[in-house]
Structure 1
Amino acid sequence: MNFEQCHAAFIQDHAQKRTGERKGRLERGHREAEKLFCLNVWWALHSNFVNLHPEYEVLDWKGHSFFCDFAWITSAVKLIIEIKGFGPHVRDMDRQKYCNELNRETFLTGMGFQVISFAFDDVAYRPELCTALLRLVLSRYQSAASPVSLNNVMEREIIRLAFTLGRPLRPVDIENHLGINHRTAVRTLQTLCASGIFEAEARKSGKYVVRYHIRQDAIQYL
């Protein structure tokens, strides 16, 4: 099935399982922004909507019901995904609404959900960034089931380490983080340089490489 057919079946399937306000909210709430996310971001990654729930109902700390744009529920993760437009989420938000939104996200985290948000403008006009960021989040839960080699897992972890440290990497950083020997650390960094993900920096003499800088677009490799 193409996207339109799969998306229509996806919404119809959830609508048939719901009644009352849950069904009404799906009909009213799943609009342009949510469909664009489905097309530009989720479909681009998965080409299906397995385990994705639109207009997902949860309770807040007061026991009040509210609906999240999407939830991705598997045995390994409970992920809430929100698509936020500038108007309702920034321009038109007062102090109390702002506090409530932050408290809600903190409460959901405490209840075992991971909450991530995308700006509508990015979903509509820069979906490749959203796709890369979502792939990064999901890879933490899918790596065990993905047919990747040990070298690929190691390379991804080195890229994550570089973003986490926020500075150029040295081989000793890799050795301490992954528990590998110096030769393996250097060889893996050289492979990443050959792939264009890192750039090597040599001493002033130019004889020895001492640090490795990660390229700004390296997130696409995670």
Structure 2
Amino acid sequence: MEFEKAHGQFINNHISRRKGERRARLERGHRHGETLFLKNVWWPLYRNLDYLHPEYEVPDWRGRSYFGDFAFLPGHLRFIFEIKGYGSHVTEMDRTKYSNELNRELYLQSLGYRVISLAYDDVANRPDICRNLLQLLFSRYLIQQQPLEPSALEEAAVIRLCLSSIQPIRPKQVAAHLCIDHRTAIRILRSLTQKGWLRPIYSGAGLRVHQYELIRNAWDLIN
């Protein structure tokens, strides 16, 4: 099914199940940025809109209704997505609105939601960055809902290790981090090197590889 058809069915289905302000909010709140997120980021990754709820209502700590751009509710996991434009969320925001936004996000976290904020400019112009970051994030949470090969999970874990490390990583760090043997760690590092994620660092007279560093523009090289 093509995106436009799936998107139309998705919105109409949610509108038909809502009444009053919840329905009106969806009709006027689901706009260009939200549609671009689905088209440019979500659809290329999953080819469906399952478990997504547009303009999702959550009462805040003051008893007022807060509407997140999307909720993603696969089983017991709960995510809130916000597509944030620079104008409305930066240049047009005063101190009170800024404080309320931070308090609201912290409150949602306390309710068990993982809040994911994406810049509209990235969704519109650099969606590959959003897709790759979501893949890294969801590889930690959606193993049961989105089964992955063990090798893919191991590689994602190594990439996160690189992102959290100031210095290049060594095979023994990977082995200790994943609780695997040295040979398996080498295999994972070589696989990521072949895929364009890592760059080997040579040292010694024999030009042996002792360390690997993350290629910082790898987002542009990997789907």
TM-superposed deviation, 1:196: 2.7
Q: Secondary structure at the match of 2:142?
A: helix
Q: Which residue of 1 aligns with 2:186?
A: 186
| Cα 1:194/1:46, change in 2 over 3 Å | closer
The answer to whether 1:87 aligns with 2:75 is: no
Q: Report the AA paired with residue 91 of structure 1.
A: T
For residues 4-24 of structure 1, give each alpha carbon's deviation from its aligned partner in whole angstroms, at most 9, with x where no partner exists: 211111111111111010000
Map of 1:111-190 to 2, 5 A cutoff?
111-190=111-190
Q: CA–CA distance in 2 between the matches of 1:193 and 1:60?
A: 46
Q: Secondary structure at the match of 2:18?
A: coil
Aligned residues with identical type, % of pairs: 46
Q: Structure 1: where are the runs of 5+ without partners?
A: none
| Cα 1:214/1:112, change in 2 over 3 Å | same
Q: Secondary structure at the match of 1:143?
A: coil
Q: Would you say how many aligned residue pairs link Structure 1 and Structure 2?
A: 222
Task: Name segments (4+ residues, structure 1) moved above 6 Å.
Answer: none
Q: CA–CA distance in 2 between the matches of 1:44 and 1:159?
A: 21
Q: CA–CA distance in 1 between the matches of 2:24 and 2:100?
A: 23
Q: Structure 2: where are the runs of 5+ without partners?
A: none
TM-superposed deviation, 1:145: 4.5
TM-superposed deviation, 1:221: 5.6
When the two chains are superposed, the root-mean-square deviation of aligned CA atoms in Å is: 1.9
TM-superposed deviation, 1:213: 0.9
TM-superposed deviation, 1:142: 2.4
For residues 20-61 of structure 1, give each alpha carbon's deviation from its aligned partner in whole angstroms, at most 9, with x where no partner exists: 100000011011111111111111212221110000000111
Q: CA–CA distance in 1 between the matches of 2:205 and 2:4?
A: 59
Deviates more, 1:197-206 or 1:6-15: 197-206
Q: CA–CA distance in 2 between the matches of 1:199 and 1:135?
A: 21
> Is residue 139–residue 153 contact of structure 2 (8 Å, CA) maintained in 1?
no
